Amino acid sequence: SSDLTQDPAVSVALGQTVRITCQGDSLRSYYATWYQQKPGRAPLLVIYDKNNRPSGIPDRFSGSNSGNTASLTITGAQAEDEADYYCNCRDNNGNHWLFGGGTKLTVL
Amino acid sequence: QVQLQESGPGLVNPSETLSLSCTVSGGSITSDYWSWIRQTPGSGLEWIGYISYSGRTNYHPSLKSRVTISADTSKNQFSLNLNSVTAADTAVYYCARLTIVGATSAFDYWGQGTLVTVSS
């Protein structure tokens, strides 16, 4: 399959740790990237490559990869982290780009 | 800081062609890859395709027969044409820069997005 699968929704208590996962065959060959999207806004890159953050992204965001699963971890979730999170990767042939269906994160 | 700005009609008639442009500032389209991505209402993201720094194009297989992405280096702009549109093409359309380094790639800069509605 060339799809990327994410859980539709996840919740976390304020200040706690949450992991958002993304599964797909192409993740065995290519690193996932992660985007945060808030209502009415464009997606924002938060994690790329193995575990790199663009300038300005808090270090509570981290990424990891194992087999066909990529994970985005938020350690000490804040209220402002409530958003939709999308994973992204190339397809199995490396020629096209896929997005996961997105995970809606609620911070309680 | 690279900035991208989409422009174009917000309403397109069914069966006609959707045309959008993306103006890039703070960077040159003669480097990297320049993509279009869309997001249907209430749904996720879909990569449409890109044009490379050298003018090579690459399209999503499901849209390939209807899509053309072109570039105007004199204006530092790239454009999207999607023909024979239907209501299913109603979406927010984003332009974005795609950076590729080996096995790593990322859409690192995005435009604000523009809503295109297909309706008569």
**Is residue A1 over pLDDT 70?**
no
φ, ψ dihedrals at B78, nearest 5°: -135, 160
Q: What is the DSSP string of B89-118?
A: G-EEEEEEEEEEETTEEEEEEE---EEEEE
Report the C-alpha gap between A88 and A49 in whole angstroms.
Answer: 11
Q: What share of chain B is helix, strand, coil (3-state, %, to 5)?
A: 0, 55, 40
pLDDT digits (tens, 9 = 90+) for A32-64: 999 999 999 999 999 998 899 999 999 999 999
pLDDT for residue B12 is more than 70: yes
> Using CA atoms, how far apart are residues A74 and A20, in angstroms rounded to an integer?
8
Interchain pair A42, B103: CB under 8 A = no
Where residue A2 falls among pLDDT bands split at 50, 70, 90?
A: low
Which chain A residues have a beta carbon less than 8 Å from that of B113?
42
Q: Which of B35, B45, B61 sits opposite A86 (nearest CB)?
A: B45
Tell me the mean pLDDT in the region A1-22.
92
pLDDT for B92 beyond 80? yes
Chain B residues with CB-CB distance to A88 below 8 A = 45, 106-107
